[in-house]
Each structure stands twice: as C-alpha cells, then as structure tokens.
Amino acid sequence: MKNPYDILGIGAPILDRIIPVKDDFIRNLPGGKGGMILIDSATCADFLTNFEGIGSIAPGGSAANVIKTLAHFNQKCAFLGKIGHGTIGKDFWEPTLLEQNIVPLFSYSATPTGIAFCFVTPDGERTMRTYLGAGMEMSSKDIRPSIFDGIKLLHMEGYNLVKGDLVEKSFEHAKNAGALISFDLSGYEIVEQYREKVLFLLEKYVDIVIANTDEAKALTQLSGSDACSFLSNICLCAVVMAGKLGCYAGSKEQLIYQPVDSVEPIDSTGAGDLFTGGFLYAYLKGFPLEKCAKLGNILGKHAVQVLGADLPSETWITIKKSSIL
C-alpha cells in the first residue's frame, strides 16, 4: 500500500522557547552569538527555571519547520522523529501535526521531548541552545525501508549527524525509493565537527544542499557565490542563504543571485527553515532557480517579522496570492 505522503522530513521534534534578551546575556553565554549549540539536561533545567513564564512557545525544530511550510502549500507530508510521553510529547506534537495534515511518524522515549531556547537580541538575531531530549536518542533502528516507499523527497536536517548512522541509512533508503534528497546543514558548529562526513554525503547522496553563509564557509572555506558554485558542482542544486542580502542558488548549468526586500527584523528564528520550505516547494513544481529563490526569500522575509517560526494565517493568504505562484 502506497504511503499517504510524498515528502518525508526527519529531525528532532523541538519545543521552541522564544526568549528576548539583551546583548549582555549573549556575551556571557558560553559559545558565540548566532548558530546553535547543544546543551545537557542540567543546563536545560537551569534555563527553564531562570526563564519561567518569559517569552513564547511553539512547535519547532529545523526539519519540522520545513515540513510545516510545505504542508501550507498543500503538499502531502510526513514527519519522523522521537518524542517523550506527556504534555509536550504525544499530547502536543501529534495533534499539532494532524491539524496541519501532516502524518506523524513518531517513536517514543521516557526522556522528555526536546526544547530549543531561542535567545533573541534587539537586532533580531537568534542564538539557540538546544536540548534534544528524546530526539537525541533517535537512531537508524527507528527507521524502516517501508517508510520511504513512494516518496518524492526526503528532507534531512544536519543536526541528525550527531545520531550515528541515521543520516546515511536514511539517505540509502531514500535513494532506493527513487526520491530526491535535500540536506540542510543546520549550523556552522555542526559543519565544523562533521566536515568530512558532510562532504562525503553530499557527493554520494544529496541532490539539494542548503546552507547559510556561515555554514557554507565552514564547509568550503569559500564565501557567497564561490561557495554556492563549489557546492553546485557536487549536487544537482545548491543554495547559500545570505540573510538580509538575499541568497545564491546554483546548478551545474547556472549560478544566480537573488536579492531580498529590506525589512526590519524582529526575530530570525525559523527564517532559514521557511526559506527552505518555500524554495523546495518551487523546486518540486519545476520552477526555474530564480523563482525558487524568490519564493524562498518571500518566506524568509515574512519569518523575520514575527516572533517564532509560525506565520499568521493572513500572511499565508498574502503569500499564496503572490504573483510568483
């Protein structure tokens, strides 16, 4: 029997805690500004205590945000991850996905569901400290070949590289199913730690690689268009997001630069994920790279103007009425 979805995302289901902070807090936080660093359960507990009642919460996680974006465009999607039992696990995540017509493919753990603390400074930059929780326990044992039957696209977040052979085994199943593979590098810290592995996976499996400028630089030692050109000679398509400057997109035949309209950012949480969801939707529709990049930029532009990674319904109406579609 054919699976009731065409697109599969694999990642850690995360509860995003969006917390406004001053720059002084980030300066005193271990690790640099921007990007993402994993934290342990003790640090997570400290943050929960120190920021109790502050900020907002929303379902998140890199691959989950991409899948939610694609579902907004009426794509048949599923999301695979590992969650804990209880309030923010089974009782929260499954209904949330089902409400958006996304098939939940969860395994379960006694460990709590992951939490991402998204610290947002006055300039709109987000610095993430993430406790993966149950998501960290996910492994290749949680996947079956039948999950990939009939899919057109597998989308994988780079954070999964910390989970043993999960990424490579998933890529093997996706290729055997005849699917395209998109791979979001997720964070420059992840790229620095797994650089050789990432290059191997790109060359052997990946069709669409997506990175921001920091991640691309960490991987290729190149910047902007040069990094995009390098990556597009490895994969069918490469995208390098350049924030407020727009993005570069390339294939073996062409390389384009697409600027983005200037806006005042409120919070960059999820902006790259929504960009990715928009780009992938257009790519799957067969649009030229310019149109894919434009739609990605539109989604990213709207994302930085709200707290968190969920756009209001009226914004989605505006996006779907865009002349680009």
Residues 96-141: tens digit of each pLDDT: 899 999 999 999 898 988 898 999 999 888 898 989 889 889 999 9
Residue closest to 144 by CA, chosen among 117, 177, 115: 177
Q: Which domain, by its residues, includes 263?
A: 7-13+62-111+137-320
Per-residue model confidence (pLDDT) at position 262: 83
User: Residue 130: inside a domain, yes or no?
Assistant: no
The answer to whether the beta carbons of residues 187 and 159 sit under 8 Å apart is yes
Instruction: Compare 108 and 267 and report the one with higher pLDDT.
Output: 108
User: Residue 37: inside a domain, yes or no?
Assistant: no
Tens of pLDDT, residue by residue over 273-288, are 999 999 999 999 999 9
User: Residue 28: inside a domain, yes or no?
Assistant: no
Q: How many domains does the chain have?
A: 1
Which domain CATH number covers 265? 3.40.1190.20
User: Residue 46: inside a domain, yes or no?
Assistant: no
User: Residue 128: inside a domain, yes or no?
Assistant: no
Q: Where does the pLDDT of residue 3 fall: very low under 50, low under 70, confident under 90, or very high at 90 and above?
A: very high
Per-residue model confidence (pLDDT) at position 235: 98
User: Residue 127: inside a domain, yes or no?
Assistant: no
What is the rounded CA–CA span in Å between residue 263 and residue 298? 11
In the chain, beta strands by DSSP E: 7-10, 14-20, 36-38, 56-60, 77-84, 102-109, 113-120, 126-133, 153-157, 180-184, 208-212, 237-241, 247-250, 255-258
The answer to whether the beta carbons of residues 98 and 104 sit under 8 Å apart is yes
What is the rounded CA–CA span in Å between residue 316 and residue 293? 18
Tens of pLDDT, residue by residue over 176-212, are 999 999 999 988 889 999 999 999 999 999 999 999 9
What is the rounded CA–CA span in Å between residue 139 and residue 167? 9
% of the chain exceeding 70 in pLDDT: 98
CA neighbours closer than 13 Å in the CB half-sphere of residue 222: 11
User: Residue 233: inside a domain, yes or no?
Assistant: yes
User: Residue 47: inside a domain, yes or no?
Assistant: no
